Structure 1
Amino acid sequence: MSAGAGAALDHDRVDRNDPYHLDPKAVMEAPTGWGPSLKHLGPGLILSASIVGSGELIATTTLGAQAGFYLLWMVIVSTFVKVAVQVELARWTISTGQPALTGYNKVGPRIGRLGWINVLWLLMALTKFLQMGGVIGGTAIACSILLPLGGDPMSGVSVAAWAVIITVASVAMLYSNNYSLIERGATGMVVVFSMLTIAIALGLPFTPFPYGMDDLATGLAFTIPAGAIGAAIAMFGITGVGADELTFYTYWCVEKGYARHVGPNDGSEAWKRRAKGWINVMYKDAFVSWCIYTFGTLAFYLMGAAVLNPQGLVPRGNEMITVLSRMYTDTLGEWAGVLFLIGAVVVLGSTVWAAIPSWSRMYVNLLAEMGVVNWHAPAQRTRWIRGFTVGLPIVWCIAYLTIQSPVLMIQIGGAATGVFLLAAVVAVWHLRNTETDPAIRGGKAFNALLVVSSIAIVLLGVYTGLSALRIV
C-alpha cells in the first residue's frame, strides 16, 4: 500500500463521488450491445487524440518519406501488437480501481519507495519533455505559417510567440481538470482531420502520386531497408499505443466510471458479472480507438511514402511542417496548404490536449507512491494535478525553444517509449498473476494474443537497448 493510503479509510475525508474510491453504493450493471454502450465509451477517444499527432502526423510520415513503402507492415504490426497489453492492464484497473503507476510500484525489486519499473518510468518521462516539446513546436510552426507574428513565418520570433500562446492557452483550457471537457475536446479534434487524411490517402491513385498493388505488396514483405532501422524502432515505440498511452489509459478508465460501477471485489457472483460487463465495455472502447489510430496511421504513412519519398523530401527541423504540407499541396493544389495547416494545428493540438491532463495524473500518482501526496484525498490530488497542468506545458515549451528540432525530439521520445514497453509488459503479467481475479481473465484467443504481443514488445525493448549501447 502506498504512503498515505491509510487515510483513504478515513471516511470523513473520502469524497463519495471520487472515481478512485470504490463505493458499494455506486455499483451499476454494465450495458450490453453496441448501442447502449456508446455513451460509456470515451477513454479510448482521449487515447486516440494523444496517438494521432506526434506519432502519426510526424514520426510515421517521416518514416514513409525515408523508407518508401517497405515498412508499411511495421505500421500495421506497431498499432496492433500492443493492444492486448493495454487491455490487460485496463482489466486489472477496472477490477481493482487502481491506476497504472500504483500497480507498477508493486513489482520488485525496489529502490527506496519506488519499484524499479516506476524508476524506469521516471527516466522515460524525462525524454517526454523532448517529445512533447516537439509537438508544441510543430503546432507553433503551423500557427506561425498561418498567421505570422512579428516577421517572417519561420522566424524565431514568430514561432516562439506562438509556442508561448499555445502553452498559455492549453493551461487555461485544461486547468479545470474536467473529464467531460477533455473527452469532448479530444473527440472533436481527432476525428475530422483523420477522416480527411484517410480520404486523401485513398484518393492518391487518382493524383500525380499514385500507388498500386505492387507498392502495397512491397510494403507487406516484412523487410527493413538499410538506414531505416532507427526510424523504424522509434516509430514502433511511438505509433499505436505507446508505453505512456497504455499507462494513462488506466486513469481515464477509472475516471469514466468503469471501476466505480464494478465496485469493490466482495467475491460474489454479482461482482464477477459486473466486472465482466464493464470489461466488455472497455473492449469496445479500445476497439473503436484502435480503428481510429490504425487507419490514421496507415493514411499518414501512405502519404509520406507516395508523395514525399519519390521527391526525396524528408521532414527535418523547423521545415517539418512545410515539407509535410507538400502531401496536400502536391496532390490537391496550393489551396490545400491552408487546409493542411489548420488540420496540423488540430491534430497536434489534440496530442497536447490529451497529454497535459494524462501526464499530470501520472506524475501525481508517482509522487503519491513516493509518499509526497495522498492519492486518496481528492482535494489534495486535484491541487497537485492542476499544478502539473500549469508546469508541464511550460517545461515542454522551454524544451522546444532550446532545441528547435521537432522531428528529432519526437523520435527520441519514441525510442524511450519502446524501451519502457518492456517494463510495462513485466508489470502487466505480474499484476495479472497476483491481483486480477481468475474469473474475469480473457479467453484462450485473447491470452494467445497477449503472449504474442508480450514477446514482440520484449524483443523490441531488448533490440532498442542493445542499439542504444551500440551492440547491434
Structure 2
Amino acid sequence: MSANAEVLAHRDAAQTDDPYRLTKDGIMEPPVGWAHSLKHLGPGLILSASIVGSGELIVTTTLGATVGFALLWMVIFSTFVKVAVQVELARWCISTGQPALTGYNKVGPHIGRLSWINLLWALMALSKVLQMGGVVGGVALAMSILLPIGGAPLSGISLGIWTAITVCGSIALLYSNNYSRIERGAGILVVVFSFITIGIALGLPFTPFAYSMDDIAGGLAFAIPAGAIGAAIAMFGITGVGADELTFYTYWCIEKGYARHVGPNDGSEAWQRRAKGWISVMYKDAFLSWVIYTFGTIAFFIMGAAVLHPQGVVPQGNEMITALSRMYTDTLGEWAGLVFLVGAVVVLGSTLWAAIPSWSRMYVNLLAEMGVLNWHDTADRLRWIRYFTIGLPVVWGLAYMFVRSPVVMVQIGGVATGIFLLAVVVAVWHLRKHETDPRLYGSKAFNALLVVSSIAIILLGIYTGLSAFKLI
C-alpha cells in the first residue's frame, strides 16, 4: 500500500469512529438501571473537575469569608437552578449529534456567519482569559510556597517559573486530547480533594471554629447582606454549572458516545427508544456530577464562613493561597498547611485539566461555524484542537503574570458567565422548539423545573448585567 493510500485509510477509519458522525455502525442499545449505567457515566466527572476548582476554592470561599453564613441559600440555589437547562441542552445534543456552538448558531439574528449568541460567547471567552489566568496563578502560587524556585516564596521570579511550569505541564499532559485519559484524570482529581474538604467541613463543630444549626438556619434565609451583591452575583455565575460548563458538557456527552449510540434519527420507534435510554444515562451522569459539586461547594463556603469570616480574613491578591490555607492550619494545625497546598494544586489543577480540552473544542467549533475548517473532518478538527491546547494555557499564564490578582480575575469571569447564561436559556428553548423531537421531551415535573430554572436565570442574568454596567 502506498503512503498516500495509508494516509487515506487512516483518515477513513478516523471518520468512521468519529463520535460527531451519526451512523448505523455506532448504534448501541442503552443500559437499564444504575448498575449497568455506571461504566457509561463520565462527562459529569469532567464537568465536576471544572466546577470543583476556581469557583469553589476561590469565589465561594471568599464569599463565605466576606459575609459569613448569610448567603448559604445562594450557594445551594446556584448549584441547583441551572441543572435543568444543562440537561435540556444535552438532550438536544444527544438526539442530533451536534455540539452546543453549532446549536447556538441556529438562533438568529446573525452578523455575518455568526449568531448573536456565538458573538456573545466570544465576548465571554475573552473575559474567561482572566478567570483561567487566575486558576493558572493559583497553581503557581501554591507551588511557589511549597517549593520556591529562583527566589523567595511568592517572589516574582518564583511565580514566573512556576507559571511557566504549570503551562508547559498542562500542555504536555493534555496534548493527546484522548477522552478516556481526560475522564480518568478528572475523576481522580475531583474525588481526592472534594472528600477531604467535605470531611473537614463536617468536622468543624468539634474545633474552636464550630458552627451551629442556628448559623445554618440563618444562612438559609433568603436575603443578601448590604455590600455583598457583587460577590453574590459572581458566585451565581461561576458556582454550580456556569454558562461555559453548560456549553462544553455537550461535547463530552458526544465524545462519550451517547449520540453515536443513538444513531441517526430515522423516525422509528427503535430510534426513540434508544434516544430515551441514552438520555436517561445522561440524567444519571448529570445527577452524579450535581451531587459532587454541590457538596463540594457547600463545604468550601462553610469553611470560609466558619474559619475565615470570624477572623476578618478575606483572600486577596497573591496572598489568596496563604489566606485560604488558614482554613486548614487554624483547624488542624500547621502541618495541615502542607496538605492544603497540595490540595490546592489538585483542585485548581482539576479545573485546568477539564478547561483546556473543553475550551479548545469550543473555540474550534466557533471557527468551524465561521467557515475556517470543516468540523466533520476528524483529522483537521483534532489538529485545530491541539493548536488551542497549546495556545490557551500560554495566553492564560501571560494573563496572570500581567494582572496577578487571582480572586478578582476569577470573579470577572463569573460575572460574564452570569450574563451569558441569558443567551444559553434563549438557545435552549429555541432548539427545544425547533429541533428536539417532541417524543423525547422530559416529564411534566422536569418541564416545570425547566421553566422555573429559566425564569430564575433570566432574572438574575438581567440583574447581573444591570449591576455590571452600574445601571442599578
Aligned pairs for 1:127-166 within 5 A: 127-166=127-166
| Equivalence for 1:89 | 89
Structure 1 residue 144: Cα displacement: 0.8
TM-score of the superposed pair, with normalisation by structure 1: 0.97
CA RMSD of aligned residues (A): 0.9
1:53–1:12: structure 2 CA closer, same or farther, 3 Å change rule? closer
Distance (whole Å) between structure 2 residues aligned to residue 421 and residue 381 of structure 1: 27
Distance (whole Å) between structure 2 residues aligned to residue 181 and residue 229 of structure 1: 40
Distance (whole Å) between structure 1 residues aligned to residue 254 and residue 412 of structure 2: 30
Aligned pairs for 1:28-427 within 5 A: 28-427=28-427
Structure 1 residue 14: Cα displacement: 7.2
Distance (whole Å) between structure 1 residues aligned to residue 417 and residue 140 of structure 2: 24
Secondary structure of 1:15's match?
A: helix
1:342–1:26: structure 2 CA closer, same or farther, 3 Å change rule? same
Contact 2:62 2:314 in 1 (8 A): yes
Letter aligned with residue 30 of structure 1: P
Structure 1 residue 244: Cα displacement: 0.2
Distance (whole Å) between structure 2 residues aligned to residue 294 and residue 111 of structure 1: 38
Structure 1 residue 470: Cα displacement: 1.1
TM-score of the superposed pair, with normalisation by structure 2: 0.97
Contact 2:14 2:379 in 1 (8 A): no
Letter aligned with residue 264 of structure 2: P
| Equivalence for 1:6 | none
Distance (whole Å) between structure 2 residues aligned to residue 217 and residue 47 of structure 1: 30
Letter aligned with residue 194 of structure 1: S
- Residues 324-378 of structure 1 show CA distances to partners (whole Å, capped at 9, x for unaligned) of 0000000000000000000000000000000000000000000000000100000
Letter aligned with residue 133 of structure 1: G
| Equivalence for 2:7 | none
Letter aligned with residue 237 of structure 1: G
Distance (whole Å) between structure 1 residues aligned to residue 160 and residue 150 of structure 2: 10
Contact 1:72 1:220 in 2 (8 A): yes
Distance (whole Å) between structure 2 residues aligned to residue 154 and residue 371 of structure 1: 44
Distance (whole Å) between structure 2 residues aligned to residue 372 and residue 69 of structure 1: 49
Moved over 4 A (4+): 11-14
Letter aligned with residue 397 of structure 1: G
Secondary structure of 2:16's match?
A: coil
Secondary structure of 1:368's match?
A: helix
Distance (whole Å) between structure 2 residues aligned to residue 468 and residue 61 of structure 1: 22
Distance (whole Å) between structure 2 residues aligned to residue 405 and residue 470 of structure 1: 22
Distance (whole Å) between structure 1 residues aligned to residue 421 and residue 468 of structure 2: 15
Structure 1 residue 33: Cα displacement: 0.6
Distance (whole Å) between structure 1 residues aligned to residue 14 and residue 215 of structure 2: 59
Structure 1 residue 160: Cα displacement: 1.1
Distance (whole Å) between structure 1 residues aligned to residue 75 and residue 160 of structure 2: 33
Contact 1:13 1:377 in 2 (8 A): no
Letter aligned with residue 307 of structure 1: V
| Equivalence for 1:5 | none
Distance (whole Å) between structure 2 residues aligned to residue 183 and residue 13 of structure 1: 23
Structure 1 residue 290: Cα displacement: 0.3
Distance (whole Å) between structure 2 residues aligned to residue 289 and residue 470 of structure 1: 35
Distance (whole Å) between structure 2 residues aligned to residue 104 and residue 44 of structure 1: 21
- Residues 299-341 of structure 1 show CA distances to partners (whole Å, capped at 9, x for unaligned) of 0000000000000000000000000000000000000000000
Distance (whole Å) between structure 2 residues aligned to residue 298 and residue 464 of structure 1: 22
Structure 1 residue 12: Cα displacement: 6.2
Secondary structure of 1:85's match?
A: helix
Structure 1 residue 468: Cα displacement: 1.6
Contact 1:14 1:376 in 2 (8 A): no
Structure 1 residue 13: Cα displacement: 9.2
Structure 1 residue 471: Cα displacement: 1.3
Letter aligned with residue 75 of structure 1: V
Letter aligned with residue 388 of structure 2: F
Contact 2:248 2:359 in 1 (8 A): yes
Structure 1 residue 25: Cα displacement: 1.6
Secondary structure of 2:241's match?
A: coil
1:458–1:270: structure 2 CA closer, same or farther, 3 Å change rule? same
| Equivalence for 2:19 | 19
Distance (whole Å) between structure 2 residues aligned to residue 200 and residue 469 of structure 1: 39
| Equivalence for 2:445 | 445
Letter aligned with residue 317 of structure 2: G
Letter aligned with residue 206 of structure 2: F
Distance (whole Å) between structure 2 residues aligned to residue 465 and residue 408 of structure 1: 17
- Residues 374-404 of structure 1 show CA distances to partners (whole Å, capped at 9, x for unaligned) of 0000000000000000000000000000000
Distance (whole Å) between structure 2 residues aligned to residue 437 and residue 88 of structure 1: 12
Gaps spanning 5+ residues in structure 2: where?
1-10
1:438–1:332: structure 2 CA closer, same or farther, 3 Å change rule? same
1:96–1:334: structure 2 CA closer, same or farther, 3 Å change rule? same
Contact 1:14 1:21 in 2 (8 A): no
Gaps spanning 5+ residues in structure 1: where?
1-10
- Residues 62-106 of structure 1 show CA distances to partners (whole Å, capped at 9, x for unaligned) of 000001000000000000000000000000000000000000000
Letter aligned with residue 429 of structure 1: W
- Residues 186-207 of structure 1 show CA distances to partners (whole Å, capped at 9, x for unaligned) of 1101111000000000000000
Distance (whole Å) between structure 2 residues aligned to residue 213 and residue 95 of structure 1: 45
